[in-house]
Copies of this chain bind each other. A is one copy, B any other.
């Protein structure tokens, strides 16, 4: 035996000893045991993260299409600013708060994340790729908020709220489950890609904001009548929805957290299919339901049908059969269709319909998990939904209220009248087209 053949022998031996064994992977392809596993896992995070990052553009287009032209530039500022702030806050605080938690614990570590790839051999992926993926998730939660409180929240207080949400509020509750904290350890709470941890969290924060800030001037009059304030560009809102749909393949698919084996590749593929089918079912349901209820199809509700379907399947996109995924998404479509008038009855002014789509469908998606995932229990799911809801809503409400008392959270009446673009930015989104 030459030295090289000995090296070969021990290299492969080591690989088989140390790497995961996939005996069940059948004869045709033995499990990969070399660096390709690591590269696949890292690539999954990076590619998934890229399309989730692009969801920031999706939210921006959805929101800019659903606000009036006089607030369109401001919503653009908010969206690119919140994505930027999320990145910085997750670096400074968030990541270690999420993943620095002790097993079964309530809060992680404070401190800057160090981009440490030293323990790659244990993780099986580049630490930076995971950070990137988690960071874009956090930004998603913040994007949800901006749509609800659009057209009247002041820019800087909103950005302060975003910093707190992405640096502290989201990370603490996420640590309870994804960091291995108490929800994961004691209640086997199951939330695969974040129906509750991301979408309901964003929704609760948005609801708190809507309550503290109040409705737009003129949205609800004294007699209780609702005055529609139609969005300025439904094509951009539609584009935004398509971008979100695209991004969701990364959102849910990437949450498999691994790609480098046959089992993982099949899982990611199944997730893609279920994710798509839930969205499709949400769209078709919203189409049919608005036709039946209002005798006309409603584009905005249809778009929210897609998002409602997507949020609903996010808590468990792998386990359900396709038929169940269709059902879950379809009920998501029902929820957004029925909840929009409900919120109006409660005079909760949610400009883009984010509360129905992200909060209500997030709860629905989380509670339905035990139907397909036998490791989850309805009790465990309820504990997760309620505890995260109480935590996020309470802290968010307190923070919005504190901002109201200090900086103020709401544009002045004249500013709201002329629009935040002129008032806060001194510019117009469409200077040549805006109605005089």
A residues at B contact (CB < 8 Å): 4-5, 7-9, 11-19, 22, 25-40, 42-43, 45-47, 49-51, 53-54, 56-57, 60-61, 64-65, 68-69, 72-73, 76-77, 79-81, 83-85, 87-88, 91, 112-113, 115, 117, 120-122, 124, 126-129, 131-132, 135, 155-156, 159, 230-236, 238-239, 241-243, 245-246, 249-250, 253, 259-262, 264-266, 268-270, 272-273, 276-277, 279-281, 283-284, 287, 291, 294, 296-300, 302-303, 306, 321-323, 326, 424-435
Contact = CB atoms under 8 A, between A and B. Distances in A.
Contacts of A234: 72-73, 76, 427-430
A219 B192 CA distance: 53
Contact of A50 (B51, B306, B322, B431): B51
Copies of this chain per assembly: 3
Contacts of A260: 35-36, 39
B430 A54 contact: no
Contacts of A431: 230-232
A105 to B, nearest CB: 26
Contacts of A155: 297
Contacts of A425: 296-299
Contact of A433 (B300, B427, B430): B430
B18 A7 contact: no
> Which of A29, A117, A239, A291 is most buried by chain B, counting CB atoms within 10 A of its CB?
A29
> Which of A84, A113, A430 is most buried by chain B, counting CB atoms within 10 A of its CB?
A84
> Which of A40, A236, A321 is most buried by chain B, counting CB atoms within 10 A of its CB?
A236
11 contacts: A12-B12, A29-B124, A31-B34, A43-B259, A84-B281, A91-B277, A91-B322, A120-B266, A156-B291, A294-B426, A298-B427
Contacts of A433: 69, 232, 430, 432-435
A247 to B, nearest CB: 9
A290 B31 CA distance: 55
A273 B29 contact: no
A131 B122 CA distance: 34
Contacts of A243: 57
A150 to B, nearest CB: 13
A158 B435 CA distance: 34
B28 A121 contact: yes
Given A42-B265, A238-B76, A269-B128, A432 B432 contact: no
A313 to B, nearest CB: 13
B35 A132 contact: no
A272 B433 CA distance: 38
Contact of A270 (B4, B117, B246): B117
A277 B120 CA distance: 22
Contacts of A13: 4-5, 8
Contacts of A32: 34-36, 39
A85 B280 CA distance: 7
Given A272-B46, A296-B426, A262 B232 contact: no
